[in-house]
């Protein structure tokens, strides 16, 4: 089983991810992890924290001479903005955060809650995902995450070749596939900042080159759609997850939803084994298993909760009404969310990959991948 946990507080000394069940023998490039960490810190609309932090991953265990050992891999991202010991508690909980509920549940300070609830922790979720992506890429599986809607404005683009669309995304300060729309979106973010308000949006992840049969229909908690939804929903501020057509599927008749099956023997060497689909409304998953088509996941991110023009709250000491506390904050982190969602989806796909093909060593995985495809082509 490939899995991970994280530890660390927003303004604590460090953030840690422990990745367990990673196969032995894969060359690991930590610079590729740093690229994702830098992307997570970027995107137009971020606050002052990102100017302080310059995230870099340190591998503490599990990699030797540039290759995975097959033992647990501990990843660290040190907080430059370490100041937890000097920080005071908040007395006016911020709506949209776990401040009030956490202080009551744990019968303690708000600071205890916000330090761990903060999305700063996603730095190491991204690090774990960026590690897992190297396993996917070894098997020719590619992922791409991007923004498709921001502040209610559609910035989506028709699907095209993944590598070309990655170039487009990397030109965009919003991380959309339509960099020509950046100026319009940046103005929207600037105007919202001036008004003391915040913005949300929708991000999409596409995964291509998937084999048949990652995940399984046999048990509810092993279905890959469910596992992806859990991983994505567990990202701070994500309030909705769709696979393929998602909610739109509920509004159409069946013939406008399900993807006809066509066989083309000339494409037998493709991951889809020649079973092509003129549409991909299922988003690459049927009955909790990958069906050889690209995986399409969308996530809705709510606007940042901490407002420069704070909403009403209550002082927990005096019980009198007062404006919510303000802590340094982003105005819009939808671009960053696209990086986080891309990497947490990648991790779940990698976990399903090792379940199908084993996780002792890359050599064994390669052999099992080959045998499975030989057998499947004859099915
Ligand atoms: C990349 C990213 C950055 C975020 N930055 C902030 C921020 O600066 N200020 C803030 O109030 N919330 C921020 N959030 C959202 C909060 O972490 C989140 O809303 C809060 O922990 C409550 O959790 P929930 O929204 O999942 O219920 C951010 C979320 C993400 C994904």
Domain borders along the chain are: 3-378
Whether 126 is in the pocket of ligand 1, judged by its Cβ within 6 Å, is: no
Quick one: tokens of 259? Answer: 């993807």
Of ligand 1's listed atoms, the one at least distance from the Cα of 114 is 21
Please tell me if the CB atom of residue 324 comes closer than 6 angstroms to any atom of ligand 1: no
Pocket flag, ligand 1, residue 333 (CB < 6 Å):
yes
The alpha carbon torsion through 230, 234, 239, 245 (nearest 10 deg) reads -30
Ligand 1 in reach of 353 Cβ (< 6 A): no
Q: What is the pLDDT of residue 329?
A: 86
Find out whether the beta carbon of 331 lies less than 6 Å from any atom of ligand 1.
Answer: no
- The predicted structure's pLDDT at residue 36: 98
Is 305 near ligand 1, meaning CB less than 6 Å away? yes
Domain 3-378 has CATH 3.60.150.10: yes
Euclidean distance between CA atoms 292 and 268, whole angstroms: 12
Nearest CA to ligand 1 atom 27: 237
Diameter over CA atoms, the chain: 74
Nearest CA to ligand 1 atom 13: 304
Give the pLDDT confidence score for residue 81 in this predicted structure.
Answer: 84
Test site for ligand 1: of 150, 330, 332, most ligand atoms within 8 A of the Cβ: 330
Q: How far is the centre of ligand 1, averaged over its atoms, from the C-alpha of 17 (Å)? A: 19
* Rounded distance from Cα 113 to ligand 1 centre (Å): 13
Q: Does the C-beta of 329 come closer than 6 Å to ligand 1?
A: yes
- Cβ atoms < 10 Å from Cβ of 163: 10
Count of alpha carbons within 13 angstroms of residue 21, beta-carbon side: 16
Whether residue 46 has its Cβ less than 6 Å from ligand 1 = no
The reply to whether ligand 1 has any atom less than 6 angstroms from the CB of 199 is no
Query: Which of 341, 299, 351, 292 has the alpha carbon at shortest distance from 144?
Result: 341
pLDDT tens digit at each of 379 positions of the chain: 999 999 999 999 999 999 999 999 999 999 999 999 999 999 998 877 667 778 999 999 999 999 999 999 999 999 988 888 888 999 999 999 999 999 999 999 999 999 999 999 999 999 999 999 999 999 999 999 999 999 999 999 999 999 999 999 999 999 999 999 999 999 999 999 999 999 999 999 999 999 999 999 999 999 999 999 999 999 999 999 999 999 999 999 999 999 999 999 999 999 999 999 999 999 999 999 999 999 999 999 999 999 999 999 999 999 999 999 997 789 999 999 999 999 999 999 999 999 999 999 999 999 999 999 999 999 9
pTM: 0.97
* 92 CB-near residues (< 8 Å, 6+ apart): 310, 313, 314, 315, 316, 322, 323, 324, 325
Q: For residue 329, how far is its CA from the centre of ligand 1 (angstroms)?
A: 9
336 in contact with ligand 1, CB cutoff 6 A: yes
């Amino acid at each position: 089983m490939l899995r991970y946990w994280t530890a660390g507080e927003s303004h604590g000394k460090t953030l840690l991810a422990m990745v367990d069940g990673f196969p032995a023998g894969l060359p690991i490039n930590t610079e590729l992890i740093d690229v994702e960490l830098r992307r997570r810190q970027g995107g137009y609309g971020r606050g002052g924290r990102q100017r302080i932090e310059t995230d870099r991953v340190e591998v503490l265990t599990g990699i030797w001479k540039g290759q995975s050992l097959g033992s647990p891999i501990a990843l660290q991202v040190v907080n430059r903005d370490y100041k937890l010991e000097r920080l005071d508690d908040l007395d006016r909980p911020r709506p949209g955060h776990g401040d009030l509920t956490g202080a009551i549940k744990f019968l303690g300070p708000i600071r205890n809650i916000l330090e761990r609830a903060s999305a700063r922790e996603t730095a190491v979720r991204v690090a774990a995902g960026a590690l897992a992506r190297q396993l996917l890429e070894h098997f020719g599986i590619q992922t791409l995450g991007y923004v498709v809607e921001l502040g209610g404005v559609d910035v989506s683009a028709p699907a095209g070749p993944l590598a070309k669309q990655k170039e487009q995304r990397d030109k965009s300060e919003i991380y959309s596939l339509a960099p020509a729309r950046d100026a319009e979106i940046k103005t929207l973010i600037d105007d919202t900042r001036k008004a003391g308000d915040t913005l949300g949006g929708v991000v999409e992840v596409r995964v291509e080159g998937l084999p048949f049969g990652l995940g399984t229909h046999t048990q509810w908690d092993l279905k890959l759609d469910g596992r992806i939804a859990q991983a994505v929903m567990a990202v701070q501020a994500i309030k909705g997850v769709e696979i393929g057509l998602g909610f739109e599927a509920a509004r159409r008749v069946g013939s406008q939803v399900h993807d006809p099956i066509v066989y083309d023997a000339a494409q037998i060497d493709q991951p889809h084994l020649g079973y092509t689909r003129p549409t991909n409304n299922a988003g690459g998953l049927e009955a909790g298993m990958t069906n050889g088509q690209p995986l399409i996941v969308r996530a809705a991110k709510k606007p940042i909760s901490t407002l420069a023009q704070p909403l009403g709250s209550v002082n927990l000491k005096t019980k009198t009404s007062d404006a919510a506390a303000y802590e340094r904050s982003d105005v819009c982190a939808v671009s960053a969310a696209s990086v986080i969602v891309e990497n947490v989806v990648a991790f779940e796909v990698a976990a399903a990959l090792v379940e199908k093909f084993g996780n002792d060593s890359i050599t064994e995985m390669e052999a099992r991948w080959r045998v499975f495809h030989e057998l499947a082509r004859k099915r």
